[in-house]
Structure 1
């Protein structure tokens, strides 16, 4: 990984440096040639002003310039000493714009201008200094670019090695984390950078996975225990009926099997419902009158001989699956009925964009430290009484899962009589 990172960075830098070097050389070459052409044109203007008019001096009086005076017929009328030595009887090319030519093996800029009498003054300026400058620049670039590439590669190798060292430690630790070792955590470097944030995020993920695995193991263990209890009861009565038929009648055995079978059925159905809710299968959402569902529960509890106050139920509509919402209200109502000493109350109110369902009783209440734990699966605060009353410890877990699927919440606090008050908050559909 480190080698690939270094190679990739080096290739990118190499391409950038080569493009930059060629671009710089091209711009510098064009700038130098342009400056040489402008200098040649300026020198030609000075010579034209000097040689125009009667009695003008001849180019042969110039020592350092390569100058020719070309007649209308294209022949060389007069030339400087440098031009005669370089060209002999030959003439410089005449063009309106500056041009570069190789003359006697040397590149020169040739400029010309017309005089008043129709003759042309032609000046050639050697570009030897320009070529030496460009050659020097090319040499420097040829040395500097590879040296800079080596420096960049070495720096990248060291920097990436230092930066990826925590990643290697994290990868090594993650390789050793299995389903049986979810308690392990990756080391968090003290750099405070993105890698430290990555390690912190991974540890958070591992915390959630560990908690989920622990909850799953506890759930499987509790579910096995809950399912084993009615099965053991049925088996014990069946064995007793086999061994001592005079003690246990067929009717008693049938009653036990029927009762425990219903209990098994309830547990299995609750587990299946929780599984569907965990998978996000919450049924089709439609407008539901929560007040109608609540009034149905009030009538059911009153028919069972309980004192239920339903005066706090007002019109309210929510969005969700009617069957699941009915299950939610029934679970809370049954829970209150099991723990109430004699009085219950169910209320439904709408405040702005939310609907509040309250179910309260006059029982012993829920201790503050246990108000979150009671929504976990198979949790009972009073094991013996809840089991005798037929509770499986799944009702409140199902209620919270249904509320969550409907984008709501379930909380518990103290009722007006000192018992427990469950408050369900759901978005209003009106």
Structure 2
């Protein structure tokens, strides 16, 4: 059962079935108890009326056996009187259906001989109060279930026994009156049959409704699945899944899926541009180097060794940049060494003596960050290279603390970066000066690498306008903890 609709329908049907069965059993139990209590009440009324007449020694009419059969027994279980027409009885102390000649017991003879003043506080063996002559016992009634057979038909009855003492001779007897339970059995049977018929119908309705509702709810999901399948086969990431607009979980799923597709499309497009630009950038130095080597092989005297070395170095730097970008894109985590950022800047500047534009460093001691020494040195080097490439007379590098951050600012006095291009320069293979030759410029990877490294170290890299009018690059990194 792999269908969500089937699982939901079966699950809902089982839950409803369990609830209906439990509720049905409770209703049947409560109905049966109420009907039995009603029968007991009817039997009690008849028993008390008969017991009152028995206590007053009135003539007893026990001829209504079919409606309220009555049996009167004494303390020894001897039948004093019984409704006529009974063929068998159970559920009372005596199974006899004919009156019997009862002999008084020794206890009764002794009680008759005692003075009436000694019997005022007498009680029976179970502690219940004996009724006065001519009265019905005020204690609890005896309630039991049994059967009565009349004309060969046996039915269940609810019996209630009430004790009474006859006024004439002081004889004590218990009047048992029965009320038929046929109505209770019929009502319970009718309700039970109705439930047995209605339960399957109800379960079929529940299963059908659950199937239809689930199918309707999962319709947009099926549309999303089909569209995703089509995207997978066509590899067209510009396509989007349909959004139902229902503002529910499925609608949010569709929006999230489209956002994922958009991010994936942008990533794939960025990767394609990266591969194309990398191929283009690698083609130039490789072609130049090959040309110089072929010329040198044919005419050794014309071999431009410095040019070949320069192309080789440039090719090596480009390969190193591409490798670093590949590691960053793969999610490589930086190291956690403690680095004095001021010392790193000074070390990078110290390797630049003789450059066209000098670099002035302003830094305090002990400004430490946590990260990869080689990657942060690459960031500082890329910022200095970019500043010296565009400066006229001066480049300034400043390292300072700013709250929980260490800030490195590299400023030049060149033309600066136009405001609408300040984010674009951090894209890969972007060079704003199209008239610049490749030898004077670069591959357009330095600033992209610098920002990626800064972000992966928990910081950021931005560009603004320097006081001298040039570009001001600001690198922020968290203080080492």
Fold match by TM threshold 0.5:
yes
* 1:106 to 2:155 alignment: yes
1:135 aligns with 2:189: yes
Alpha carbons of 1:374 and 1:94: their partners in 2 closer, same or farther (altered >3 Å)? farther
Alpha-carbon displacement from aligned partner over 1:30-88 (angstroms, at most 9, x marks no partner): 223322343344445545554153425536276732221122232321123xxx33445
Q: Secondary structure at the match of 1:202?
A: helix
Compute the RMSD of aligned alpha carbons: 2.8
- Can you list the C-alpha shifts for 1:376-405, whole angstroms capped at 9, x where unaligned? 222111245362235222111111111111
Query: Structure 2 regions of 5+ residues with no counterpart?
Result: 95-140, 166-170
The residue correspondences of 1:4-403 to structure 2 (distance < 5 A) are 4-43=3-42, 45-47=44-46, 49-50=48-49, 51-52=51-52, 53-55=55-57, 58=60, 60=62, 64-80=67-83, 84-87=84-87, 90=89, 92-94=91-93, 98-104=143-149, 105-116=154-165, 118-178=172-232, 180-246=235-301, 248-249=302-303, 252=304, 254-301=305-352, 304=355, 306-311=357-362, 313=364, 315-385=366-436, 387-389=438-440, 391-403=442-454
| Shift in CA distance, 345/59, structure 1 to aligned 2, threshold 3 Å | farther
Greater mean deviation of Cα atoms: 21-30 or 263-272 = 21-30
The alpha-carbon deviation at position 208 of structure 1 amounts to 0.9
Cα shift at 1:193: 2.6
Kindly tell me the number of residue pairs found equivalent between the two proteins.
421
Report the CA distance between 1:92 and its aligned residue. 3.8
Contact 1:294–1:313 (8 Å) recurs in 2: no
Q: Does the 8 A contact of 1:313 with 1:347 survive in 2? A: no
Query: Which blocks of at least 5 consecutive residues in structure 1 are unaligned?
Result: none
* Aligned counterparts of 1:292 and 1:181: Cα–Cα separation in 2: 50
Between Structure 1 and Structure 2, whose CA radius of gyration is higher? 2
The Cα offsets for residues 307-347 of structure 1, whole Å up to 9 and x where unpaired, read as: 33323556422211222212211111111111111111112
Is the CA contact (8 Å cut-off) linking 2:359 and 2:394 kept in structure 1?
yes
Which structure shows the higher helix fraction? Answer: 1
- Taking structure 1 as the reference length, the TM-score comes to 0.88
Q: 1:169 to 1:234 in 2, by over 3 A?
A: same
Conserved 8 A contact 1:75-1:91: no
Q: Give the whole-Å Cα distance in 1 for the aligned partners of 2:186 and 2:285.
A: 102
| SS state at 1:399 partner | helix
Please say if residues 28 and 188 of structure 2, whose CA atoms lie closer than 8 Å, have aligned partners that are also in contact: yes
What TM-score results when the alignment is normalised by the length of structure 2?
0.79
Deviations 1:352-389 (A, max 9, x none): 22222211111121122222221122211124536223
Work out the CA distance in 1 between the residues paired with 2:466 and 2:384: 14
